[in-house]
Structure 1
């Protein structure tokens, strides 16, 4: 599987180097740790800071969401691997403005351990930290075990709402509560069509037949619920939506934000065909789409496939989802 890389051992470092050089008005790398990146724009004292992070290979996540209205800093891990505590701590110290820092990350064992260790070290330096785990993937555990679910594309809405809340002057616990509320009201389901390959190995991340799809596949190639024969876009979309409807409390008259997310190599053409069906189904149920997002928001290298995310909104979160954002890879006016 072909890659445009130099030394396979240096892909993450060279990506970060290129990213910082491409967007110096947005982001800078800390001298203390080359995996620690923070906003290039100074933040006012007394503002709650937002720190995100995770493994590389999910671009535009996570680096692409540092900027006005979203995150203040990011810790970057190896491909599909959590960042270690050291860069998380360095970002924490750099972005804290006296009001504390909220850590936002996916519910994966490595992230839970490393962000937890960094939070303990930050508190030893008198920095107050709140941690919120994203767990929106309905395929990864049953409803009664929601705390075991993975975070996938729904993490985007957690960043969006928390970043807006911090911008609007919410206090530390209030920002964390908004992030938890968003996660509680968010559900995602994905489908994999073709594998990706890690630069270090050049081998497919999983095996799947030419005419197959895997419903519920994870962003790192984790097994889904089942393999099935590839069907039409409308029928695949229905198969992703049904578990979401069964899992979340959503009724006629409710309003939602919708994300149809590409996993890396799925054309926008196909994503919009899927969104078309999402809109049809929601309209038939009397559910209003308040905001929609279509494109590559949290990917898996060059994996083929997509995910659908619904976030139920109320008056407060509608205001937050409307809040403007200006980052290198996502802008909302």
Structure 2
């Protein structure tokens, strides 16, 4: 294992400190309990948005704290849910008096700990709603979940719900927007290599040099099938077919196409993926109106990618395009 770390037990703590120092104009960090919040504190009268989960998926979630997206993020240990205490602290930091929305990826630990934190926050007078993301079409009831996993579609939920909160929607309306995005987004990923969790010091699973895992989870959970490596276009087709069949997507639909890298895949390969995915959608009469390409929901240094397709309408396009300023995404301001 070769990693640029000091003490494997302090990876998250030191990474958060570095992130906060690099982006001090956007965020502040609390070390005890550990969470990241917007610089300047909560916006009075605005619904607050909080998300979080195990570290190792950067820039998810801390990289999306800022104007037009999250108000706070809670990083747990690598691939491990944060405990309720920092989630409660982040919820308090995000509360501007209009309530707080928790956006939670569907992993058992995340769901349970965010539920407990919501109960504790409610006892202190903060109204909390929660939306659980479950956009992965690959498998149900994986090693970490009951039901489908929440993966890269979570970024789109956080962005569009954050835009709704920024324009002044109330808590029920912001939660409704988040639920609408989650209901209309589907994802599936592929791994070419495993990753190495720092404190484990060895690959999280084994994959032969000529094999790929279709439907992999962002923690390295098994997918639908393991097969021989094929061309990029063939891999895209293997991912897109189940995505488009699941909602389903069809001729005349307007979409946002998101090609996400798993941490170790260069942009040159991600754009090859995007090219083929856009081509397939076009052949089926599905319009790609918005796009996102890059490493946004990673799995440490895993080589691989995921494809996410969101069905759009006029309101979702307007919210997506509205001003945004975070460490990982910025446009319009």
Q: Same fold (TM over 0.5)?
A: yes
TM-score with structure 1 setting the length: 0.97
* 1:273 Cα deviation after fit: 0.3
Q: Residue 85 of structure 2 aligns to a residue in which SS?
A: helix
TM-score with structure 2 setting the length: 0.97
> 5 Å matches for 1:67-146?
67-141=66-140
Paired with 1:60 and 1:188, the residues of 2 have a C-alpha distance of 18
Which residue number corresponds to residue 197 of structure 1?
196
On the 8 A contact 1:107/1:149 being kept in 2, the answer is: yes
Unmatched 5+ stretches in structure 2: none
- For residues 282-326 of structure 1, the C-alpha deviation after alignment (integer angstroms, 9 at most, x for no partner) is 111111111100110100000010000000011111111111210
* 1:147 Cα deviation after fit: 7.1
Q: Residue 123 of structure 1 aligns to a residue in which SS?
A: helix
Give the length in aligned residue pairs.
329
Paired with 1:231 and 1:60, the residues of 2 have a C-alpha distance of 29
* 1:76 Cα deviation after fit: 1.1
> 5 Å matches for 1:307-318?
307-318=306-317
> 5 Å matches for 1:133-282?
133-141=132-140, 148-282=147-281
Which residue number corresponds to residue 303 of structure 2?
304
* 1:121 Cα deviation after fit: 0.3
Which residue number corresponds to residue 14 of structure 2?
14
- For residues 170-196 of structure 1, the C-alpha deviation after alignment (integer angstroms, 9 at most, x for no partner) is 110110011011000000010010000
Q: Residue 246 of structure 1 aligns to a residue in which SS?
A: helix
* 1:43 Cα deviation after fit: 4.1
Paired with 1:220 and 1:273, the residues of 2 have a C-alpha distance of 24
Which residue number corresponds to residue 51 of structure 2?
52
> 5 Å matches for 1:29-40?
29-30=29-30, 33-40=32-39
Paired with 2:3 and 2:310, the residues of 1 have a C-alpha distance of 35
Paired with 1:34 and 1:89, the residues of 2 have a C-alpha distance of 9
Q: Residue 28 of structure 1 aligns to a residue in which SS?
A: strand
Q: Residue 97 of structure 2 aligns to a residue in which SS?
A: coil
On the 8 A contact 1:25/1:41 being kept in 2, the answer is: no
Q: Residue 104 of structure 2 aligns to a residue in which SS?
A: strand
Paired with 1:112 and 1:199, the residues of 2 have a C-alpha distance of 24
Paired with 1:310 and 1:297, the residues of 2 have a C-alpha distance of 15
On the 8 A contact 1:104/1:134 being kept in 2, the answer is: yes
- For residues 94-143 of structure 1, the C-alpha deviation after alignment (integer angstroms, 9 at most, x for no partner) is 1111100000010000001100000000000110000001100001229x
* 1:21 Cα deviation after fit: 1.0
Paired with 1:45 and 1:21, the residues of 2 have a C-alpha distance of 25
- RMSD, matched Cα: 1.3
